[in-house]
Structure 1
Amino acid sequence: MSDCIIGLTGGIAAGKSELSRRFEALGVTVADADIAARAVVAPGSEGLARIAARFGPGILLADGQLDRAALRQRIFASAQERQALEAITHPAIRQLLRQTCEQADGPYAIAAIPLLAEAGGRQQYPWLDRVLVVDVPVAVQHARLMQRDGITAELAERMIAAQASREARLALADDVVVNDGDPAQLQAHVERLDRCYRELAARR
């Protein structure tokens, strides 16, 4: 059972996945909100049953899986529909993340929450003991997105603009890792934070 839960967040193409991998290599459990989001709408789940009840059986594919494309069309066409979906899925995602972290082996665990700032921050996640933000300048985000996804500068700009601002994320931070350069430097940051979080858990 872990005694301490760290929230990990950052903007698109900031390096959250890379940071998560490096913590996992040190034996730390990382509960990923994106994986939790898929789990809470898996066939047979209460979340999927509630979505079908709210949006109609047409939101399911023939094999009982969620028709993500159909749902996406519905929620992007209406803020009300999007809010209805979030009211079903967000509490379930938060509960699963917390449960996974609390049951993890090791003194602390990490909840990787890409949209922490957009999802209500600490108000919605009061069980986070600290928040770690992986931060990069917007220009670096922009260049990485274009290279990684093979997209235009305009689309990269729109994707960044659709998220919370860099300032809003940094306002949540207890710890910040600037990931704009040398991978070796990134490893040093992770090892330093790992020591700090183990000490923090030991004092609890």
Structure 2
Amino acid sequence: MRVGLTGGIASGKSTVSAILVELGAVLIDGDALAREVVEPGTPGLQQVVDAFGTGVLTADGDLDRPALGAIVFADEARRKELEAIIHPLVFERIVELEASATPDDLVVHDIPLLAESGRAPTFDAVVVVDVPVETQVERMLTQRGMTREDAEARVRAQATREDRLAIATHVIDNTGTLEDLRRRVLEVHADLTGPAA
């Protein structure tokens, strides 16, 4: 079974994917792949530098994510330009990873921008990790040290909470404790892997 897992920034999606991996799921992590395709020496990093200039590189030649983020989160056209470079490269890697999974595997695609991509219908199920916007912003302030302005800009750059919930076949509320979250993930996992799945 192929499952799309999504949620807004700071919703706790990474925690949910880690629990699913503990339960035996094969994880295809869009964020991790997006980092992988722009590692030093990759054609992806060269394309980003060609588009955005050497100012998006650190002294060591790595991608300077904060510098690039400052450009793309302030300008939607530049963000779309970056996505046009990264998304096809990530998609190639996803195809490779999926081909290596067995038919019995629960293959979970961790895709931050699933609602934006229009790819929800390509999955057997869509799991949305859900928290209110205020919770997302608060977590970015306290856990990531962002300014309120930056945090709110990141939220605005993504699909709305309503857009994500509209594509969900399963919703995981993450406003409670870690134990509450684990219990809900176990329920969803059982539903996805049970006899009816």
TM interval, short-chain normalised = 0.7 to 0.9
**Helix, strand or coil: the match of 2:101?**
coil
Q: Which runs of 5+ in 2 are unaligned?
A: none
In the TM superposition, residue 95 of structure 1 has moved relative to its aligned partner by: 2.8
Cα distance in 2 between the residues matched to 1:134 and 1:54: 33
Query: How far apart in 1 are the matches of 2:149 and 2:81?
Result: 31
Counterpart in the other structure of 1:166: 161
C-alpha displacement at 1:110, in angstroms? Answer: 0.8
Q: Verify the 8 A CA contact 1:134 1:176 in the aligned structure 2.
A: yes
Contact 2:33 2:90 in 1 (8 A): yes
Partner of 2:186: 191
Q: In terms of mean alpha carbon deviation, does 88-97 or 6-15 score higher? A: 88-97
CA distance in 1, matches of 2:70, 2:143: 26
Q: How far did 1:93 drift?
A: 1.2
Structure 1 residues 94 and 194 mapped into 2: Cα distance closer, same or farther (>3 Å)?
A: same
Which of 117, 131, 144 is 1:136 aligned to? 131
Q: Across the two proteins, how many residue pairs are aligned to each other?
A: 196
Distance 2:184 2:28 in 1: 20
Identity percentage over the alignment?
A: 43
Distance in structure 2 (CA, Å) of the matches to 1:89 and 1:181: 34
Q: Partner of 1:111 in structure 2? A: 109
Normalised to the residue count of structure 2, the TM-score between the two structures is 0.79
- Aligned residue for 2:122, secondary structure, equals coil
Q: Aligned partners of 2:80, 2:190: CA distance in 1, in Å?
A: 40
CA RMSD of the aligned region, Å? 3.1
Counterparts of 1:173-188 in structure 2, within 5 Å, are 173-188=168-183
Counterpart position of 1:42: 39
Deviation track 1:66-101 (CA, whole Å, cap 9, x = no partner) reads: 455665565467654443332221111123234324
Question: What is the Cα deviation at residue 137 of structure 1?
Answer: 2.2
Determine the structure 1 residue equivalent to 2:90. Answer: 93
Q: Which structure 2 residues correspond to residues 22-101 of structure 1 after superposition, within 5 A?
A: 22-54=19-51, 65-66=62-63, 68=65, 71-72=68-69, 75=72, 79-101=76-98
Query: TM (normalized to structure 1)?
Result: 0.76
**Greater mean deviation of Cα atoms: 78-87 or 24-33:** 78-87
Residues 1:95 and 1:131: Cα distance change in structure 2 (over 3 Å): farther
8 Å CA contact retained: 1:108, 1:198: yes
Larger radius of gyration: 1
Write the letter of the residue equivalent to 2:170: D
